[in-house]
A = this chain, B = another copy of it.
Amino acid sequence: MDQIGIPKATAKRLPLYYRYLTLLHDAGKKKVSSTEFSEAVQVDSASIRRDFSYFGALGKRGYGYDVDNLLSFFKKILNQDELTNVALVGVGNLGKALLNFNFRSSANIRISAGFDINPKITGTIVSGVPVYYVKEMQTQIREQQIQIAILTVPAPVAQKIADEIIAAGIKGIMNFTPIRLSAPAGIQIQTLDMATELQILVYFLHSEEKRKNK
Protein backbone atom coordinates (compact mmCIF):
# COMPACT_ATOMS: atom_id res chain seq x y z
CA MET A 1 0.00 0.00 0.00
CA ASP A 2 1.45 3.30 -1.04
CA GLN A 3 0.12 6.11 1.05
CA ILE A 4 3.28 8.10 0.72
CA GLY A 5 3.49 11.14 -1.42
CA ILE A 6 -0.05 12.31 -1.00
CA PRO A 7 -0.01 16.09 -1.21
CA LYS A 8 -0.62 17.94 2.00
CA ALA A 9 -3.44 19.87 0.46
CA THR A 10 -5.17 16.61 -0.31
CA ALA A 11 -4.56 15.18 3.14
CA LYS A 12 -6.21 18.18 4.71
CA ARG A 13 -9.35 17.58 2.74
CA LEU A 14 -9.70 13.93 3.69
CA PRO A 15 -11.70 14.46 6.87
CA LEU A 16 -14.09 16.65 4.94
CA TYR A 17 -14.58 13.94 2.38
CA TYR A 18 -14.99 11.35 5.08
CA ARG A 19 -17.63 13.36 6.87
CA TYR A 20 -19.69 13.86 3.75
CA LEU A 21 -19.40 10.21 2.88
CA THR A 22 -20.81 9.14 6.24
CA LEU A 23 -23.63 11.56 5.61
CA LEU A 24 -24.37 10.01 2.22
CA HIS A 25 -24.10 6.55 3.70
CA ASP A 26 -26.52 7.35 6.50
CA ALA A 27 -28.92 8.78 3.96
CA GLY A 28 -28.84 5.44 2.17
CA LYS A 29 -27.21 6.82 -0.94
CA LYS A 30 -25.41 4.18 -2.99
CA LYS A 31 -23.43 6.13 -5.53
CA VAL A 32 -22.13 9.63 -5.94
CA SER A 33 -20.47 11.58 -8.73
CA SER A 34 -17.58 13.98 -8.34
CA THR A 35 -19.84 16.83 -9.49
CA GLU A 36 -22.40 16.09 -6.81
CA PHE A 37 -19.67 15.72 -4.23
CA SER A 38 -18.11 18.94 -5.38
CA GLU A 39 -21.20 20.98 -4.66
CA ALA A 40 -21.58 19.57 -1.18
CA VAL A 41 -18.02 20.01 0.00
CA GLN A 42 -17.27 23.12 -2.04
CA VAL A 43 -14.19 21.73 -3.70
CA ASP A 44 -13.70 21.71 -7.48
CA SER A 45 -14.81 18.43 -8.98
CA ALA A 46 -11.51 17.93 -10.78
CA SER A 47 -9.71 18.33 -7.47
CA ILE A 48 -11.93 15.71 -5.94
CA ARG A 49 -11.24 13.24 -8.73
CA ARG A 50 -7.54 13.95 -8.45
CA ASP A 51 -7.57 13.62 -4.69
CA PHE A 52 -9.35 10.30 -4.90
CA SER A 53 -7.06 9.07 -7.63
CA TYR A 54 -4.01 9.36 -5.40
CA PHE A 55 -5.39 6.33 -3.64
CA GLY A 56 -5.94 4.40 -6.84
CA ALA A 57 -8.90 4.03 -9.13
CA LEU A 58 -11.77 4.19 -6.69
CA GLY A 59 -14.55 5.04 -9.09
CA LYS A 60 -16.04 3.74 -12.29
CA ARG A 61 -16.07 5.81 -15.45
CA GLY A 62 -19.50 6.77 -16.58
CA TYR A 63 -20.91 5.74 -13.24
CA GLY A 64 -19.34 7.53 -10.31
CA TYR A 65 -18.15 6.34 -6.94
CA ASP A 66 -19.68 3.66 -4.78
CA VAL A 67 -20.43 5.34 -1.47
CA ASP A 68 -19.90 2.31 0.73
CA ASN A 69 -16.63 1.38 -0.95
CA LEU A 70 -15.31 4.88 -0.71
CA LEU A 71 -16.42 5.25 2.88
CA SER A 72 -14.77 2.09 4.09
CA PHE A 73 -11.65 3.00 2.18
CA PHE A 74 -11.37 6.43 3.76
CA LYS A 75 -12.28 4.97 7.11
CA LYS A 76 -9.16 2.89 6.90
CA ILE A 77 -7.00 5.70 5.55
CA LEU A 78 -8.04 7.97 8.39
CA ASN A 79 -7.74 5.26 11.02
CA GLN A 80 -11.36 5.67 11.86
CA ASP A 81 -11.77 1.95 12.35
CA GLU A 82 -9.91 2.11 15.61
CA LEU A 83 -10.35 4.36 18.60
CA THR A 84 -7.54 6.85 19.08
CA ASN A 85 -6.78 7.87 22.64
CA VAL A 86 -5.38 11.31 23.24
CA ALA A 87 -4.20 13.20 26.29
CA LEU A 88 -5.39 16.64 27.24
CA VAL A 89 -2.69 18.72 28.85
CA GLY A 90 -4.03 21.78 30.60
CA VAL A 91 -7.59 21.57 31.90
CA GLY A 92 -8.51 25.25 31.94
CA ASN A 93 -11.46 26.87 30.25
CA LEU A 94 -10.66 25.66 26.78
CA GLY A 95 -9.48 22.31 28.05
CA LYS A 96 -12.76 21.71 29.88
CA ALA A 97 -14.72 22.67 26.80
CA LEU A 98 -12.72 20.15 24.80
CA LEU A 99 -13.43 17.48 27.40
CA ASN A 100 -17.10 18.01 26.69
CA PHE A 101 -16.57 17.93 22.98
CA ASN A 102 -17.68 14.72 21.35
CA PHE A 103 -14.69 13.87 19.19
CA ARG A 104 -15.71 10.27 19.26
CA SER A 105 -18.85 10.46 17.16
CA SER A 106 -17.22 12.41 14.37
CA ALA A 107 -13.61 11.33 14.52
CA ASN A 108 -13.39 8.20 16.68
CA ILE A 109 -11.07 10.03 19.00
CA ARG A 110 -11.33 9.99 22.77
CA ILE A 111 -9.62 12.03 25.42
CA SER A 112 -8.54 9.36 27.87
CA ALA A 113 -6.59 11.42 30.36
CA GLY A 114 -6.31 15.01 31.46
CA PHE A 115 -3.39 16.69 33.21
CA ASP A 116 -3.22 19.88 35.20
CA ILE A 117 -1.49 21.55 38.12
CA ASN A 118 -4.65 22.84 39.75
CA PRO A 119 -5.22 20.69 42.89
CA LYS A 120 -8.92 21.55 42.78
CA ILE A 121 -9.42 19.37 39.75
CA THR A 122 -6.52 16.94 39.80
CA GLY A 123 -7.61 13.60 41.17
CA THR A 124 -11.17 14.18 40.04
CA ILE A 125 -13.08 13.05 36.99
CA VAL A 126 -14.20 15.80 34.65
CA SER A 127 -16.78 14.93 32.00
CA GLY A 128 -15.88 11.29 32.42
CA VAL A 129 -12.15 11.82 32.06
CA PRO A 130 -9.72 11.37 34.96
CA VAL A 131 -7.57 14.42 35.56
CA TYR A 132 -4.10 13.69 36.92
CA TYR A 133 -1.56 15.92 38.50
CA VAL A 134 1.17 16.97 36.09
CA LYS A 135 3.72 14.96 38.00
CA GLU A 136 2.04 11.78 36.84
CA MET A 137 1.90 12.97 33.26
CA GLN A 138 4.92 11.18 31.91
CA THR A 139 4.20 7.87 33.58
CA GLN A 140 0.55 7.93 32.55
CA ILE A 141 1.36 8.77 28.93
CA ARG A 142 3.88 5.98 28.84
CA GLU A 143 1.65 3.44 30.54
CA GLN A 144 -1.39 4.23 28.44
CA GLN A 145 0.84 4.47 25.38
CA ILE A 146 -0.80 7.68 24.31
CA GLN A 147 0.74 9.11 21.17
CA ILE A 148 -1.24 12.30 20.73
CA ALA A 149 -1.75 15.23 23.05
CA ILE A 150 -3.89 18.32 22.98
CA LEU A 151 -1.94 21.20 24.44
CA THR A 152 -4.07 23.81 26.18
CA VAL A 153 -1.64 25.23 28.70
CA PRO A 154 -0.65 28.88 29.21
CA ALA A 155 1.79 30.11 26.58
CA PRO A 156 4.75 30.64 28.92
CA VAL A 157 4.99 26.95 29.82
CA ALA A 158 4.00 25.54 26.42
CA GLN A 159 7.49 24.67 25.17
CA LYS A 160 8.55 23.16 28.47
CA ILE A 161 5.48 20.94 28.67
CA ALA A 162 5.83 20.02 25.01
CA ASP A 163 9.38 18.83 25.66
CA GLU A 164 8.17 16.73 28.55
CA ILE A 165 5.36 14.99 26.74
CA ILE A 166 7.57 14.34 23.72
CA ALA A 167 10.09 12.76 26.07
CA ALA A 168 7.27 10.59 27.38
CA GLY A 169 6.49 9.31 23.92
CA ILE A 170 4.00 11.75 22.42
CA LYS A 171 4.34 11.83 18.65
CA GLY A 172 1.73 14.40 17.69
CA ILE A 173 0.64 17.61 19.35
CA MET A 174 -2.47 19.61 18.68
CA ASN A 175 -1.21 22.95 19.87
CA PHE A 176 -3.77 25.50 20.99
CA THR A 177 -1.18 27.93 22.30
CA PRO A 178 0.18 30.79 20.20
CA ILE A 179 3.71 29.47 20.67
CA ARG A 180 5.58 28.08 17.69
CA LEU A 181 6.75 24.89 19.29
CA SER A 182 10.05 23.41 18.32
CA ALA A 183 10.32 19.65 18.30
CA PRO A 184 12.59 16.95 16.93
CA ALA A 185 12.00 15.64 13.43
CA GLY A 186 9.21 13.13 13.19
CA ILE A 187 7.02 14.85 15.76
CA GLN A 188 3.88 16.22 14.18
CA ILE A 189 2.69 19.56 15.40
CA GLN A 190 -0.58 21.09 14.35
CA THR A 191 -1.10 24.57 15.67
CA LEU A 192 -4.52 26.09 16.04
CA ASP A 193 -4.47 29.55 17.49
CA MET A 194 -7.93 31.01 17.71
CA ALA A 195 -6.81 34.59 18.19
CA THR A 196 -4.73 34.29 15.03
CA GLU A 197 -7.63 32.85 13.10
CA LEU A 198 -9.82 35.74 14.17
CA GLN A 199 -7.16 38.23 13.18
CA ILE A 200 -6.97 36.68 9.73
CA LEU A 201 -10.72 36.96 9.40
CA VAL A 202 -10.60 40.61 10.41
CA TYR A 203 -7.84 41.23 7.92
CA PHE A 204 -9.69 39.62 5.02
CA LEU A 205 -12.80 41.54 5.91
CA HIS A 206 -11.11 44.89 5.88
CA SER A 207 -9.12 44.23 2.73
CA GLU A 208 -12.36 43.18 1.04
CA GLU A 209 -13.91 46.46 2.12
CA LYS A 210 -11.04 48.43 0.68
CA ARG A 211 -11.29 46.52 -2.56
CA LYS A 212 -14.92 47.50 -2.89
CA ASN A 213 -14.34 51.15 -2.06
CA LYS A 214 -11.83 51.34 -4.86
Q: Could you tell me if A4 and B148 are in contact, using CB atoms closer than 8 angstroms?
A: no
User: Cβ of A6: which chain B residues have Cβ within 8 Å of it?
Assistant: 207
User: Cβ of A174: which chain B residues have Cβ within 8 Å of it?
Assistant: 197-198, 201
Q: Which of A61-76 contact B (CB under 8 A)?
A: none
- When C-beta atoms are compared, the residue in chain B nearest to A190 turns out to be B201
User: With an 8 A cutoff between CB atoms, is A157 at the interface?
Assistant: no
Q: How far is the CB of A80 from chain B (nearest CB, A)?
A: 8
User: With an 8 A cutoff between CB atoms, is A147 at the interface?
Assistant: yes
A interface majority secondary structure: helix
User: With an 8 A cutoff between CB atoms, is A125 at the interface?
Assistant: no
Given contact pairs A188-B208, A214-B4, A14 touches B109 in the complex (Cβ within 8 A) = no
Q: How far is the CB of A28 from chain B (nearest CB, A)?
A: 19
Once the chains are docked, how many angstroms separate the CA of A103 from the CA of B194? 8
For the complex of A and B, the 3 pairs showing the least CB-CB separation, nearest first, are A97-B97, A15-B199, A93-B100
